């Protein structure tokens, strides 16, 4: 028998309570019973997004919310800046170019955070730019970008700050209204502790004004239509009924813990994982701006990262993530977001120690686990 542990940055583990809620007999989506659940869920989403604005619920992956943000707010030929510091920064570029937008690339070294001064300079040099597109947490590099500072730069311009918060919302503080974020999107399979299949998008009043003049073609991802239906406690098209019922349960769990405690837990798990990496002598991927969603470390010299990830998953039952593009085979990404706690982290660190021994790397067994435990003790009275 082999027990499985999921510590990849999406999908993430699903709580038993949410699984049981989703296992209930399906109900029809155009009924008062479902509308009541939907209404409550939409309000709970506002709590997690820290906004008074509507949070749209789409049957899609997070990429659907990203695409929807482009087609609902822009017209072909509009200019945007994309902060491209990883695979998901590249995705902003690809979506924008697919709809005929002119993209100003602001390339950032993988593992680094963008310098807000560079964004301001590019905006000053290109006054026609109408959007800055960025990840709050670049999952592929485990780096976090300075969203508060970027929001201050775009706030008084005819320009929207559009933030991919797919591995940020519910992980660390991204208060949409307080900071002045114009669009914040996320997805169900991260900190929301659900299977993939739901995307979320919240727009500021400033963003909704952009929507009035946008001419990009759209049908399914029509935010105006979704907003209208949201007022009637439903969706424009068939919703993912079971996922929304599960979301209702997961959001209640988050609210019961409280956002502050949720953020503290993620911070503690992240610091413990980084401490373990340091104890193993593993170089961090994002030392200057690490995200609390996942920790990236370079594997030791002579160890094939791809084979290491496969061994951890197939032989030890612990699923983590490797690297992409030029980082393929070179890094290991350990997630600590969503339904993850102290002993998930201890399991993951112990597995890494044991796997490295199997791969011939000299490891003092228990040293990294002990380093993590010192941090994790903070969570106990």
One domain for residues 184 and 306: no
25: domain range?
Answer: 16-256
* Chain segment 185-195, per-residue pLDDT in tens: 999 999 999 99
pLDDT for the residue 363: 95
Measure the N-to-C terminal CA separation of the chain; round to a whole number of Å: 35
pLDDT for the residue 2: 86
DSSP 8-state symbol, 114: P
One domain for residues 246 and 276: no
One domain for residues 293 and 249: no
Q: Which residues contact 141 (CB under 8 A, 6 or more apart)?
A: 85, 86, 110, 111, 112, 285, 286, 296, 327
* Cα–Cα distance measured from residue 17 to residue 194, given in angstroms and rounded to the nearest whole number: 11
pLDDT for the residue 240: 97
One domain for residues 31 and 43: yes
User: What stretches in the chain show pLDDT beneath 50?
Assistant: none
Mean pLDDT of the chain: 97
* Cα–Cα distance measured from residue 176 to residue 229, given in angstroms and rounded to the nearest whole number: 23
One domain for residues 127 and 157: yes
* Chain segment 133-149, per-residue pLDDT in tens: 999 999 999 999 999 99
Find, among 178, 179, 169, 335, the residue nearest to 259 by Cα: 169
One domain for residues 97 and 212: yes
pLDDT for the residue 295: 98
Instruction: Tell me the H-state helices in the chain.
Output: 16-22, 32-49, 62-73, 87-98, 116-125, 147-154, 176-179, 205-211, 223-230, 241-257, 259-279, 305-314, 342-358, 367-376
Which one of 256, 279, 299 terminates a domain?
256
One domain for residues 156 and 168: yes
pLDDT for the residue 1: 82
Domain count along the chain? 2
pTM of the model: 0.97
CATH of the domain at 273: 3.90.1150.10
Which one of 256, 290, 313 terminates a domain?
256
* Cα–Cα distance measured from residue 57 to residue 35, given in angstroms and rounded to the nearest whole number: 13
pLDDT for the residue 373: 98
Which one of 256, 287, 313 terminates a domain?
256
pLDDT for the residue 365: 97
One domain for residues 251 and 262: no
SS3 assignment, position 186: strand
* Cα–Cα distance measured from residue 56 to residue 239, given in angstroms and rounded to the nearest whole number: 12
Task: Check: CB of residue 114 under 8 Å from CB of residue 143.
Answer: no
One domain for residues 162 and 300: no
């Amino acid at each position: 028998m082999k027990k499985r542990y999921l510590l990849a940055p999406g999908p993430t583990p699903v709580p038993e309570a949410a699984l049981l809620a989703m296992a209930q007999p399906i109900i029809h989506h155009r009924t008062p019973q479902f509308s009541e659940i939907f209404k409550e869920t939409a309000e709970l989403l506002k709590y997690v997004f820290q906004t008074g604005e509507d949070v749209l619920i789409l049957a899609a992956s997070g990429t659907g919310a990203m695409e929807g943000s482009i087609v609902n707010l822009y017209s072909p030929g509009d200019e945007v800046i994309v902060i491209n510091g990883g695979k998901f920064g590249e995705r902003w570029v690809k979506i924008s170019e697919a709809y005929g937008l002119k993209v100003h690339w602001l390339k950032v070294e993988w593992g680094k955070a963008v310098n807000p001064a560079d964004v301001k300079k590019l905006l000053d040099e290109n006054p026609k730019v109408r959007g800055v597109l960025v990840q709050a947490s670049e999952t592929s590099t485990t780096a976090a970008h300075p969203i508060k500072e970027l929001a201050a730069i775009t706030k008084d311009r005819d320009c929207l700050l559009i933030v991919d918060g797919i591995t940020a919302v519910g992980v660390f503080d991204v208060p949409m209204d307080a900071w002045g974020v114009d669009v914040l999107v996320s997805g169900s399979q991260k900190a929301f502790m659900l299977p993939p299949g739901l995307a979320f998008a919240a727009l500021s009043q400033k963003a909704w004004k952009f929507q009035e003049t946008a001419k990009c073609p759209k049908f399914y991802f029509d935010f105006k239509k979704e907003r209208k239906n949201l007022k009637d406690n439903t969706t424009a098209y068939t919703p993912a009924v079971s996922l929304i019922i599960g979301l209702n349960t997961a959001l209640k769990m988050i609210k019961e813990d409280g956002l502050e405690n949720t953020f503290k837990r993620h911070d503690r798990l992240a610091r413990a994982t980084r401490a373990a990496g340091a104890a193993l002598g593993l170089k961090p991927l994002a030392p200057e701006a690490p995200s609390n969603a996942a920790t990236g470390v370079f594997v030791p010299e002579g160890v094939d990262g791809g084979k290491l990830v496969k061994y951890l998953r197939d032989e030890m039952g612990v699923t983590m993530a490797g690297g992409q593009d030029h980082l393929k085979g070179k890094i290991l990404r350990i997630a600590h977001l969503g339904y993850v706690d102290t002993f998930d982290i201890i399991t993951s660190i112990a597995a890494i120690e044991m796997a490295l021994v199997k791969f011939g790397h000299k490891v003092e067994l228990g040293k990294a686990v002990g380093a993590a435990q010192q941090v994790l003790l903070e969570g106990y009275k």
